Copies of this chain bind each other. A is one copy, B any other.
Amino acid sequence: MDFVAAPTATDNSALSALFRPQSIAIFGASSDPTRVGGRPLANMLKFGFAGAIHPINPKYREIQGLKAFASLTEVPGAIDLAILAIPAASVQQTLEDCAARGVRAAIVFSSGYSEVGGEGEAAQQRLSELARRTGLRILGPNCLGMMNVGAGAICTFGQGPGFAMPPAGGISIVSQSGAFGTFTFIVARDRGLPVNLWASTGNEADIEFADCVDWLCDDPETQVIMGYMEGCRTGAKLVRALQKARAVGKPVVVMKVGRTEIGAAAARSHTSALAGSDAVYDCVFRQYGAHRAATVDEFFDVGYASLSGYRPKGRKLGIITLSGGAGVLMADTAEEVGLEVAPLPEPTQQAMRAIVPYAGVLNPVDITGQIANDRTLYRRFGRLMIAEGGYDAMVGFHSVGGLDPTGGANILDSWTALREEFPEIPIFLSLKATPELARNLEAIRVPVFEEPTRMVRAVAALCRFGESAAAAETESVAAATAMPALPTGTLSESAASALLSAAGIPMVAHEIAGSAEAAVAAAVRFGYPVALKIVSPDIAHKSDIGGVRLDLATPEAVADAYAAILNNARTREPKARIAGVLVAPMVRGGVEAVVGVHEDPTFGPIVMVGLGGVLVEVLKDVAFRMAPFGEAEALRMIGELRGRALLEGVRGRPRADVPALARALARLSVLAAQLAGRVTSIEINPLLVRAEGQGVLGLDALVIGKPAAS
């Protein structure tokens, strides 16, 4: 599935030297632990880095208690990683020296590169070229470096480690923003989340965000990959990294800013290096199974929940609570995020009523305040729900029960018993808990949240990770048909129709007439009524010049229309080359869809679908996917349309042939991938989606090829 020119595979061994260094040289090392050149050293000494550290500074013999070297040549042994805390002017030569000496990777803190434009831009180009030429991998410039928490390799001058460290563990964080990355690191620490690796990619002269994600897929210490993004340099790298993460079962949680127009404008003014429309990023994350978080809370809620390793097998959610109100609140949220709050079987409901007559027993199950009188209720109700409800995941709400010792002990005992009886069921709890109770619940694999709605949203995210992985395993993309010949420039409607037909997309029959008589003869063959349209490579918007006549029901009407169309074209577009007039049968019935392809600068050909008219024009109700994809993915794409109910039959109309629409989209995506780089856009408008079993039919198509030179 190499639909965009595939970059060379990331050299993961050099990235291992960066992220798991055994020996580190620090250029510009300082004795002052508050200075940029002093902080990484101080941090590594403080947090117990076990490898070799070689401070390089010609002015000193010893720095922070370590032997200092005057230059790289004096340093003994192999060096995995160089940290450059030196002015930009010296960076290029220092990196050349590092490459010559066999250093595998370097972190460049220095600023003054693409972020300042002009000469900085050129200097950054030279860094990129050096990395390509020598194989030395570079993190930065203008970055805050990286931290390997477990190894104590705290190669940053940022404020992240300034206060304390989080526990070492399964979450790795990659950030394109230093300041925001530091913020997320501290938030993670304050939430007690276990962190493995943290990296700030800065200007990405060499190592991109996607390279880091790729490496983390192979990193045994990383269970969950979290990233803050502003944009992506190489779309294909990001897609490959996301696919790899999905294949190895590691959830990817991203915050990508610039969701709105004003946000995107702010992002452009913030950094000029990033391309691609936000809607396309959104579709890429969804298509390849990453979770896109809109807030810092959501980012870490999903990251934390992912650490549990749960991937619910379906969307049936069981809700147990001692507050009816909290149950309703969680049910509301579940509905909003697409989880099923399926009712319990009637016999189970009866069994529950036999225990507490006025309990809520439908799902949400509300055991009521009776828990204060009978501590066994959680266990008994929970057992009934899990054993008989067939739920894919359970969430519970304990209010403030976790704050008092008796209540807390009972909560832990109850769920421990249920965990032992049902070792596999994903269980999540929302409650006010002491830190100790929270740790004990986590130890039995029960993630703990305070806010019940955030818990339910996190569960839904885990469901999507599971669904995406399962879908990827069964996804099959149709084989491409023979490579079509493609004229340059705008194709005639006839040529466009032929191209799409050959790709397997049903298009309405047509003939090209060179005279009024020929047009009438064609109309007789198709049967009345018919449509007539001007055919010219120079006229893209036929209606605008009076080049279209619809619903022609008699020979006279056809002949008149023929004359009028030609006359309009000659008058309004005197220089246009006229190839004739197209005659096609009028086709009615079904739902009008619009499907198309456009080329995204970052991710290549993107397929779009919308349901016609007001939904597309007024509400911009469209869905996107990167090409190519299969029919199952196309069905998910259609399912994202807000107006999808239109396909299910409204006002007594029949259900539309959704599988045929999905098939057409998948085939269009294969064609788009084949034509990548050669076509600017494809649009079929309308594509009529007829009643179930009757397929789809494209009525009009516009294909704009790239100019001849490309």
A358 interfacial contact with B, CB 8 Å: yes
A159 interfacial contact with B, CB 8 Å: yes
Check if A176 sits within 8 Å of B643, measured CB to CB: no
A699 interfacial contact with B, CB 8 Å: no
A482 interfacial contact with B, CB 8 Å: no
- Segment at the B interface, from A291-299, A414-422, A575-583: A291-299
> Which A602-648 residues have C-beta < 8 A from chain B?
613-615, 617-619, 642-643, 645-646
A325 interfacial contact with B, CB 8 Å: yes
> Which A360-409 residues have C-beta < 8 A from chain B?
360, 362, 364, 366, 369, 399-401, 403-404
Check if A183 sits within 8 Å of B399, measured CB to CB: yes
A271 interfacial contact with B, CB 8 Å: yes
Contacts of A297 in B (CB 8 A): 297, 451, 454
CB distance from A181 to the nearest CB of B (A): 8
A571 interfacial contact with B, CB 8 Å: no
A453 to B298, CA, bound (A): 11
Check if B271 sits within 8 Å of A324, measured CB to CB: yes
Check if B180 sits within 8 Å of A399, measured CB to CB: yes
Check if B328 sits within 8 Å of A358, measured CB to CB: no
A423 interfacial contact with B, CB 8 Å: no
* Chain A: interface residue total (CB-CB under 8 A): 80
Given A183-B432, A323-B177 in contact, is the A159-B400 Cβ separation under 8 Å? yes
A179 interfacial contact with B, CB 8 Å: yes
Closest to A295 in B: B453
A159 to B325, CA, bound (A): 17
> Which A179-202 residues have C-beta < 8 A from chain B?
179-180, 182-183, 186-187, 190
- Segment at the B interface, from A334-342, A556-564, A675-683, A700-708: A334-342
- From B329, B450, B617, B642, give the contact of A187 (CB < 8 A): B450
Q: A268-288 toward B: CB 8 Å interface, digit per residue (1/0)?
A: 011100000000000000000
A262 interfacial contact with B, CB 8 Å: yes
Contacts of A160 in B (CB 8 A): 400
A100 interfacial contact with B, CB 8 Å: no
A619 to B453, CA, bound (A): 25
A115 interfacial contact with B, CB 8 Å: yes
Contacts of A451 in B (CB 8 A): 295-297
A329 to B266, CA, bound (A): 9
Contacts of A326 in B (CB 8 A): 177, 179-180, 183
Given A262-B341, A335-B260, A614-B643 in contact, is the A399-B182 Cβ separation under 8 Å? yes
Q: A253-272 toward B: CB 8 Å interface, digit per residue (1/0)?
A: 00101111111011101110
Closest to A164 in B: B403
Q: A341-358 toward B: CB 8 Å interface, digit per residue (1/0)?
A: 100000000000000011
Give the 3 A-B CB pairs with smallest separation, nearest first.
A179-B323, A263-B332, A177-B325
- 12 sampled A-B residue pairs with Cβ under 8 A: A116-B358, A159-B401, A176-B325, A179-B325, A182-B399, A183-B323, A228-B325, A261-B335, A263-B331, A263-B335, A266-B362, A619-B645
**Could you list 18 further interchain pairs (A-B, Cβ under 8 angstroms) beyond the known A180-B323, A262-B334?**
A163-B403, A177-B326, A179-B325, A179-B326, A179-B369, A183-B323, A230-B324, A257-B332, A262-B335, A262-B341, A270-B364, A296-B450, A296-B453, A297-B297, A297-B451, A614-B615, A617-B650, A618-B643
